[in-house]
């Protein structure tokens, strides 16, 4: 339940607080991570809003955030990431219906991933690109979960960010060749499975995401993301008997977990 106004206000307050406290050098490192955590919360909330509006064909700047149940505009408290959810006790103020837990989960996950990226990447250039990369994958994972669709307006800029990260890592030719080999292998495997199962297994956009994933994370990390995503998919679909998670949603979850424990 975020909108552009609350996002801008939170960013302004966060930066003002950061600049004020960082006048004392001994607090610089601590406040840097505090700011990064806050930015993760805010941008995670905004990414959820962006994904929701893309999935439901709502223009981004058309209206304020509204209740998913009664369609009334939500109050300012509901727009505060995580804290608003806790203050409202998980219920909408307008109609007392339960607020989807995906809101605070997305915000907290983004905050934790931001901290992990900052911890493992002291270079500001790499750090910021990886944060943007993660948010893009998060948005695509959410839209894929809701509609089984990926949007070019997010996917192509995300691929550009993947390429920039690849250039920063070096050995870009090896990365491109490795990405092509991975995509070719998965494409052949998916077509083989389609022949056996008599139903589609992967969409065209999934192969673009695999390509960008390899460019940004390289071989070992990409295989780790796929493995983690597969385990989560099995857990949801077989053990918990929940709704099957789409491929890109699984990759977003897998990459988030990988960032938390190893980058």
Q: Contact at 8 Å (CB) between 186 and 137?
A: no
For position 86, what pLDDT does the model report?
82
Task: Give the residue with greater pLDDT, 180 vs 79.
Answer: 180
**CB within 8 Å of 74: residues ≥ 6 apart:** 1, 64, 65, 66, 67, 92, 93, 94
Q: Which of 149-158, 190-199, 238-247: highest mean pLDDT?
A: 149-158
Taking only the tens place, the pLDDT of each residue in 176-229 is 999 999 999 999 988 888 888 777 778 889 999 999 999 999 878 888 999 998
Name the DSSP class of 235: I
**CB within 8 Å of 77: residues ≥ 6 apart:** 84, 87, 88, 93
Q: Above 70 in pLDDT, residue 23?
A: no
pTM, 2 dp: 0.85
Per DSSP (E only), the strands in the chain are none
For the residues 142-154, what does the mean pLDDT come to? 91
For position 2, what pLDDT does the model report?
45
Is residue 161 helix, strand or coil?
helix
């Amino acid at each position: 339940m975020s909108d552009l106004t609350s996002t801008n206000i939170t960013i302004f307050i966060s930066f003002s607080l950061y600049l004020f406290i960082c006048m004392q050098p001994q607090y610089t490192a601590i406040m840097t991570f505090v700011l990064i955590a806050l930015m993760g919360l805010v941008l995670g909330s905004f990414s959820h809003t962006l994904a929701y509006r893309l999935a439901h064909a709502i223009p981004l700047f058309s209206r304020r955030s509204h209740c998913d149940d009664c369609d009334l505009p939500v109050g300012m408290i509901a727009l505060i990431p995580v804290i608003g959810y806790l203050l409202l006790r998980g219920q909408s103020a307008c109609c007392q219906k339960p607020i989807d837990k995906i809101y605070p989960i997305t915000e907290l996950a983004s905050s934790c991933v931001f901290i992990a990226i900052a911890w493992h990447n002291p270079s500001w250039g790499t750090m910021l690109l990886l944060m943007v990369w993660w948010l893009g994958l998060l948005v695509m994972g959410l839209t894929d979960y809701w509609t089984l669709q990926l949007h070019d307006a997010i996917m192509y800029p995300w691929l550009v960010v993947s390429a920039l990260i690849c250039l920063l890592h070096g050995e870009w030719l090896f990365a491109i060749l490795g990405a092509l080999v991975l995509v070719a292998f998965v494409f052949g495997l998916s077509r083989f499975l389609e022949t056996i199962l008599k139903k589609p297994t992967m969409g065209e956009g999934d192969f673009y995401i695999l390509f960008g994933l390899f460019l940004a994370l390289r071989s070992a990390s990409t295989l780790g993301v796929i493995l983690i995503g597969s385990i989560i998919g099995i857990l949801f679909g077989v053990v918990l008997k929940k709704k099957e998670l789409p491929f890109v949603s699984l990759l977003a979850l897998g990459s988030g977990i990988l960032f938390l424990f190893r980058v």
